[in-house]
Structures are given as C-alpha cells and as structure tokens.
Structure 1
Amino acid sequence: MYTGSGFRDWEIGDIEVFKMDDTYHLFHLIIPNHDYIAHAVSKDGYNWRRVKNALFVGHPGEWDDDMLWTMDVSEGDGVYEMYYTGLKLSDKGTIQKIGRAKSHNLYDWEKENNYNFPLTSLGPYYENLDNNPRTWLSFRDPYRFTHEGSHYLLFCGRSSHGPISRRGCVGLAKLEDEEWVLKKPLLFPIAYDDVECPCIVQINDRFYLLGSIREDIKVRYWYSDEFQGPYLSFHSDVLMPQGNYAARIIQDNEHVLIYNFYYLNREINYKRVLPPPKEVAVDQKGRLYLKSFYGWENNIQNTIYQPDFADVIPTFKNSTASMEIQSQKWTFQSISGYEAYAFQKPADNFIWEGELHLEGMGKSGFVLNIDEDGNGYFISMDFVNGYVQIRRWGFNPDDYLNNFKFDNLQTGLFKPSPDRKIQFRLIRYGYYIELSIDDRVILTLVDYQFEGDLIGLYSASSILSMSNSRIHILGEPETEYAVKDSD
C-alpha cells in the first residue's frame, strides 16, 4: 500500500514499476502539482520506501518548464531510459510532448533529448494545432517496446479523424535512422476520448495491448497475433474492475505483473492509492485474467486451520437461522432474513482460503471487518449467475433521515460451477481487499471505512457450507506513507 499525504490527500499519480535484480523501483507523478517524478523502492513489491526524486520540471523557457506527466522506464543501449511527458508554461497546458532522460543506476537521472525529442502530435495520423477540436492535444503516456530488433514508442494519442469524443487511440512511433517517426495508430477503437497509459506484452506468441479508459474508470485490453495488428476484443474486454486505473505491465522473471493505482470511491480526482500487484495469466481460449501475486507467500507468518478458528457468533440472532460446526465443515442456514455467522479474525492482515458450497437457493456471501452489530463489508456471492459484489453496509450516525450506509464498491464476474462450489482466497492487507475465486482475482480495491474485528459468512434463505479452510497471517504493512485515511 502506498499513497501520498499532502493537503489534497491524493498526491500519487500515474505509475511505472521497473525491477532491477531483487529491487522493485516505483516511479510516479505527484498530483496536482506535476512538478517532479518521485521514486520509491521495494524488496517485496508492495511495501515502498521513498528515495531520491528522479526528475524535475525544466527551467523557465525549457520545453518541460510547466509540468511532468506519465513516464516509462526501460533498459536499452547500456543505460536506463525514461521517456516522459512534459508541458510548457507558455502553451497553457494545451500541448503535450514526449522527452527522454537517462540513468546508469536508476537513481541519478539526466535529461538527454537527442534524436528528435521532444516529440509532439502531428498529422497526418494524429491531431495537430490545425486539427484540434478539443483545443488541447493528447500526446502523452509513452511506453517503450522492442519487437524484432526495432524500437517503438506507444503513446496516448488522438486520431486525426472520427467523432470528437471517440478519437482516442494508441499511437505509435518507430526509431528509424536515429529519429522517431510517427506511424499510424496501433489501435483506434473509435470508442473513447483517450486510451490512457497504454502498454503491451507478448504472451504465448500473442500480443496483448492494455489501456485505461476514463469513461468508466476501467482497464481494458485487446489482442492480436501480429504486433502491427489488427487488435481485436473478446466479448469481455475488462481486465481490471472499476476503480483500478493507469495499469502498467512488468516482467518479473517468469511472472508477468500488473501495477496500477486505485481511485477510492471510483471517482476521478479523488484519493489515489497504489495497491499490491497482480499477475497476468492466459486461459485456454487466449483470454487474459488476473491471479494473486506470488509474493504473498513470502509474507506468511503463521497458518491457522479451520478447526482452530475462533468460536462462531450468529450476529443478528435470527430465530430462523441455525448452524452446524464440525471440525472440517461448517454449515449455515437461514430460512427467512439475514444472519451473519462471524468469528474473531486472528490478525488484521491475512489470507483466508477454503471451499464454499451453496447447498440451497437464496443469498449468501462473506462478511469482512464487521462489528458486533453487523456493520462492515458484505461480499455478495451469486453462485448461479456468477456475480460478485462488495458493499459497505451498516449504520450511519450522521444522517437521521437515512441512518444507513449501503455503498456498492465494486462488482465482478466468475464462471459458476454446476455443483455451486468455489475455491476462494480473500486477502485483507492494510486497507486492501482482494477476492479470488477458483484462482482468478475477481475483486481488487482499497477502502478505509470499516475496521471491525469479525469476519465470516452470511446466509439469507440459503444453506451455505465451508470446508478445508485456513487463514494465513501476514506481516504488518510498512507505513512510511499514509495508508490510513486522514481524519
């Protein structure tokens, strides 16, 4: 968990992660000033420590003397390269350009705009000053990619034609004879205002192109068997659920990791937090999905098995509810209305795993961080239709007319099994929440609202059983940066 702690309380911006040897390097923007690119390091991939800032805005009169925007860090030609977005004060924010800096150690950076940097948006493929219906040019978020010995830059651009609100594209430049040459867009979906923070990865001889979409605050992807495309969509093209944004891919030995920041309350320009990474995997049909980060295993301090869980408490005292507790199987039933079967969590930071079986119809799911009155997080599980939803649910003392909180935080889909059984993995680390079903991450979010001591399951006109469950206790998060909501 990593976030800023300034007056606006949402100071982390777009991110880039690069791994050198056994150290992860995080580079990120500072919002809202955009005056430097910050640098942090980590040994485990999710607890970060700030180090020397990487890059600052230029001196007055230089092309990047106003703001610095999204960057990419890569290794090439014996040095580390940072391609970054810059704005000039005299342009009043209407023109974005891409420049370059270099480093020999990832800590000390020097701007070196050789070749034909800074690059800017030009026709015939992209909008320019004479074809600029929005009155500001998108030309940002560079991402360096090498294919068959040739070097390319992907960027967030705008096609020179098309409906004004649908011109967003993934632009492409190629290094030819020591000069970056703009090529036709790698992807032009004719759907979005911008395709932000594009990146690309090749897995199993197929290319996967990722982009972040402001319209609904989601990360989407496209695929092609050839680098130059055409890039297609599957029937579901959402890789990360709502609230996750500005995703970037890194290769971590045999693992492909995805990093992003998360918008609290799923609102643009609200508090932003960097959650732990996920792994990108491919199913038998060539579709991408997310897996839980392999690095969690290195943080497990202890494991408690189901027979040793704390005593279960029927929180709502529903007279139509019952439970049967056996050593390896717990069964819960509520004939009419809700009952939350909760027990004391053994630690604040944990991974809870096991098997759930919906043996009857009705509603069921998890309760997380609830108190003795049942105020907390409810994760609704639809075993029939494969639908998951997490919500904040409880008492609201601040509004006597609406004395409840009922806020849907995130939804996800999974493939339901005919026998209505699932393998689950629920992570609570700091204020991060992650739910995997059958080894696929379905929910990934951050929320600061509830800190109750109870976790468990709930039933409403259903019979739900849990078996083969265990809780792995995790070490405490490092808290150099503010991982608790401000007062």
Structure 2
Amino acid sequence: MPYILSDVWTWDMWFVDDGHEYHVFYLKASRALGDPNRRHFNVTVGHAVSDDLRGWREVSDALIASESPAFDDYTTWTGSVVRAPDGTWRMFYTGTSRAESGLVQRVGVAASDDLYTWAKSSTEALVEADATWYEKYDGVAWFDEAWRDPWVFADPDGDGWHMLVTARANQGDTDSRGVIGHATSPDLQDWTVCPPLSNPGAGFGQLEVPQIATIDGRTVLVFSCLHGELSEDRRSAGEHGGVWAVPVDSATGPYDIEKAYRLTDESLYAGRLVQDRDGAWWLFAFHHVDDSGTFIGTLSDPLPVGWAPDGRLHVSDGQFDHLA
C-alpha cells in the first residue's frame, strides 16, 4: 500500500539507508489548508522509517522553518542526505525567506548524529545561484529564482563532493533555460558554484529533483518536469510531463538533456531511485494527480526498474510501457 497520511499531503521525498533502517524524508502540509497549492508555503520536512521500503512508520518531523531573520525563515524544501567522513549525517535542503516572499531559493545544511534530531548549521545560506551562469530573479523571465532540490554525492574518484541543483541558465529562450546546476566541495562545508552540467535549450523550463545513480554499471540522471514547464516547442509537439531519465557517460557530467525520455506520466512526480540491501533498484515518487486532475499527495509503493534492450531505464512492471 502507498504511504498515506490522512491529515497531510506528502510530496517530494529523499531516502537514506543507515544499514538498519530505511529513512524517507518528505515535504508535508496539512490538508486543512483546503487548497493544495497552498502547501508549498505551509510546509515542514517529515520523516518515516521502514525495514523493507514498503511499510513505513512516521516519526518526528526533521526540519521546520527558522525564526526570522534567516534565509529559510519561510520554507524548508527538498533536499538529500549523505554521511560525512566523520560518521555524522548531513541534510542539504532548500530554503526561502519571508523578506523575499519565497521567490529566491538557496541551499542550507543541517547535521545529525542519528538521522532523527537535526541542527541547522547557520541562518545564512550555504550556496546560492551565481549570476555568472545562472538566472537571477527579475520578475520577468521566470516566476522564481530556481536554486533548489540539492542532490549531493561523493565524487566517484574520491575527489570531494558534488551537488546537483534545479537551476536556470541566464541565457537562451526563457521557456527552455532549465539546467542541472552544479557546485563542488572538498569537505561538505565550503562550496564553489560551477557552470551547469547541462545546456539550456533542451526544451525544459526547469528540471526538478535531480538525482544521479549507477545501476548495473550504467549511470543515469533522473529529474521531473510537468507539462506546464516544458518549452512551447515540446508542448506544441504533444509532449507531456512526468518523471524523466537520461543515460549519461559520467556521474559528474556533462548531461545531454535533449536525449531525456519519460519514465512515468504525470500521475507520478518527483521520482527517486533507491537501491535495497539485496541490490535491487526501485523507483519511488509521489502520487501527483488522479484522472480528474485533482492533487493526491501520497508516497508511492516502490516500482521495479531495469534496463531495456534499447539502453533505456524503464519501470519494469509494465505500468508505463505506453510511454515507450
């Protein structure tokens, strides 16, 4: 059964395995808000644990907005968790401030010894968009300043850490500026913003909740984009949104986003690839909308994924074969 909380909507999620339990962190907001569009600015980071990636037990929330003034005194949004070399855990997350009406996104970090109790490192952001390469909010080009959904992973060659970010380039057609932003760090503390790992012009206004994974020796990037954030060219061609994937040669880029294809339709969103302790890989997402377009807001069951003969990753239970 999907992970359903009767009193709250749940959406974007990220996972970590501590060797004993699987942990999922997710955005949540009260259904008493009535309008699900209000959830984004009435949000906390929830937390649940599982023995098998199927039955989940809710525990105390992980993060809430900071007291003002702070870069995250309005919202704490999507992130990722990694284990630092000293054995502690680090959660990198998106924050917005009330002073900017939530329109500018930045990344912060919190630390934990046990994955249950988290302490934010600062009221100041850890890393934000650099105008050298990335679009800054001007109230015209896009509806916000995209610098969110940090996905942090260790360099495959042992040379520090990488952060992938939902971002927008500062050039090109405004409906096709979505790129995978990039920052690097030697120690998870000091970060340097780098050029994006993909080029604008691939037909996406934004590439949300990016993740990189290596499955059976092949590396893949997944991200999500809805129909409304596709470029006019893609929409005119009849394309739709959902969870997208693109095989890549290297985890650290570059990524050819023009080759992306859909793993799911828009019934699911914000996909995450998770490996279980037996080595199998699964796709999680949140149930986005029903057939009438009504928002659902629950965590999906794990869906098996594997490589097809054509070299594409696919959901291997046949649920989305119609997308091929």
- TM-score, shorter chain, exceeding 0.5: yes
Checking the alignment, whether the CA contact within 8 Å between 1:262 and 1:275 is kept in structure 2 is yes
Tell me how large the CA RMSD over aligned residues is: 2.6
Q: Distance in 2 between matches of 1:122 and 1:99?
A: 15
2:181 aligns with: 171
Listed one character per residue, the Cα deviations across residues 126-180 of structure 1 (whole Å, up to 9, x for unaligned) are 1124696225201111101112112011110001111111111111111147521
Checking the alignment, whether the CA contact within 8 Å between 1:34 and 1:69 is kept in structure 2 is no
Tell me which amino acid in the other structure corresponds to 2:314: Y
Does the alignment pair 1:252 with 2:276?
Answer: yes
Checking the alignment, whether the CA contact within 8 Å between 1:153 and 1:174 is kept in structure 2 is yes
2:266 to 242, 247, 253: 242
Q: Distance in 1 between matches of 2:131 and 2:297?
A: 35
Tell me the TM-score normalized by structure 1: 0.56
Checking the alignment, whether the CA contact within 8 Å between 1:241 and 1:411 is kept in structure 2 is yes
Listed one character per residue, the Cα deviations across residues 75-109 of structure 1 (whole Å, up to 9, x for unaligned) are 12211111101111111011111100111111111
Q: How does 1:152-231 map to 2 (within 5 A)?
A: 152-176=162-186, 178-188=189-199, 190=201, 191-215=203-227, 216-231=240-255
SS for the counterpart of 2:290 is helix
1:81 aligns with: 90
1:189 Cα deviation from its structure 2 partner: 5.2
2:152 to 144, 157, 160: 144
Checking the alignment, whether the CA contact within 8 Å between 1:101 and 1:112 is kept in structure 2 is yes
Listed one character per residue, the Cα deviations across residues 264-319 of structure 1 (whole Å, up to 9, x for unaligned) are 32677712121111233223443212235xxxxxxxxxxxxxxxxxxxxxxxxxxx
Q: Distance in 1 between matches of 2:291 and 2:148?
A: 23
Checking the alignment, whether the CA contact within 8 Å between 1:144 and 1:151 is kept in structure 2 is yes
SS for the counterpart of 2:103 is coil
Q: Distance in 1 between matches of 2:256 and 2:3?
A: 34
1:16 Cα deviation from its structure 2 partner: 1.1
List runs of 5+ in structure 2 lacking aligned partners. Answer: 30-38, 228-239
Instruction: Please identify runs of 4+ aligned residues in structure 1 that moved more than 6 A.
Output: 233-236
Checking the alignment, whether the CA contact within 8 Å between 2:15 and 2:23 is kept in structure 1 is yes
Q: How does 1:93-132 map to 2 (within 5 A)?
A: 93-113=102-122, 117-129=125-137
Does the alignment pair 1:264 with 2:289?
Answer: yes
Taking a change above 3 Å as real, the CA distance of residues 246 and 268 of structure 1, as seen in their structure-2 partners, is farther
1:5 aligns with: 6
Taking a change above 3 Å as real, the CA distance of residues 414 and 122 of structure 1, as seen in their structure-2 partners, is closer
Checking the alignment, whether the CA contact within 8 Å between 2:198 and 2:257 is kept in structure 1 is no
Taking a change above 3 Å as real, the CA distance of residues 205 and 412 of structure 1, as seen in their structure-2 partners, is closer
Taking a change above 3 Å as real, the CA distance of residues 209 and 266 of structure 1, as seen in their structure-2 partners, is farther
List runs of 5+ in structure 1 lacking aligned partners. Answer: 293-387, 389-409, 416-487
Listed one character per residue, the Cα deviations across residues 449-475 of structure 1 (whole Å, up to 9, x for unaligned) are xxxxxxxxxxxxxxxxxxxxxxxxxxx
Structure ranking higher in helix proportion = 2
Does the alignment pair 1:90 with 2:99?
Answer: yes
Q: Of the two, which has the highest radius of gyration?
A: 1
Tell me which amino acid in the other structure corresponds to 2:47: H
Identity percentage over the alignment?
28
Tell me the TM-score normalized by structure 2: 0.82
1:220 Cα deviation from its structure 2 partner: 0.8
2:15 to 11, 14, 17: 17
Taking a change above 3 Å as real, the CA distance of residues 137 and 2 of structure 1, as seen in their structure-2 partners, is same
Checking the alignment, whether the CA contact within 8 Å between 1:46 and 1:275 is kept in structure 2 is no
Checking the alignment, whether the CA contact within 8 Å between 1:242 and 1:266 is kept in structure 2 is no
Taking a change above 3 Å as real, the CA distance of residues 169 and 274 of structure 1, as seen in their structure-2 partners, is same
Tell me which amino acid in the other structure corresponds to 1:241: D
1:320 aligns with: none
Checking the alignment, whether the CA contact within 8 Å between 1:40 and 1:49 is kept in structure 2 is yes
Checking the alignment, whether the CA contact within 8 Å between 1:167 and 1:194 is kept in structure 2 is yes
Taking a change above 3 Å as real, the CA distance of residues 28 and 414 of structure 1, as seen in their structure-2 partners, is closer
Q: Distance in 1 between matches of 2:58 and 2:247?
A: 36
Tell me which amino acid in the other structure corresponds to 1:186: L
SS for the counterpart of 1:99 is strand
Checking the alignment, whether the CA contact within 8 Å between 2:106 and 2:126 is kept in structure 1 is yes
Does the alignment pair 1:275 with 2:277?
Answer: no
Q: Distance in 2 between matches of 1:234 and 1:240?
A: 17
Checking the alignment, whether the CA contact within 8 Å between 1:205 and 1:225 is kept in structure 2 is no
2:314 aligns with: 289
Tell me which amino acid in the other structure corresponds to 2:166: C
SS for the counterpart of 2:17 is strand
Q: How does 1:45-64 map to 2 (within 5 A)?
A: 45-64=53-72
Checking the alignment, whether the CA contact within 8 Å between 2:49 and 2:56 is kept in structure 1 is yes
Taking a change above 3 Å as real, the CA distance of residues 266 and 182 of structure 1, as seen in their structure-2 partners, is farther
Checking the alignment, whether the CA contact within 8 Å between 2:71 and 2:125 is kept in structure 1 is no
Q: Distance in 2 between matches of 1:107 and 1:119?
A: 24
Tell me which amino acid in the other structure corresponds to 2:54: Y
Structure ranking higher in strand proportion = 1
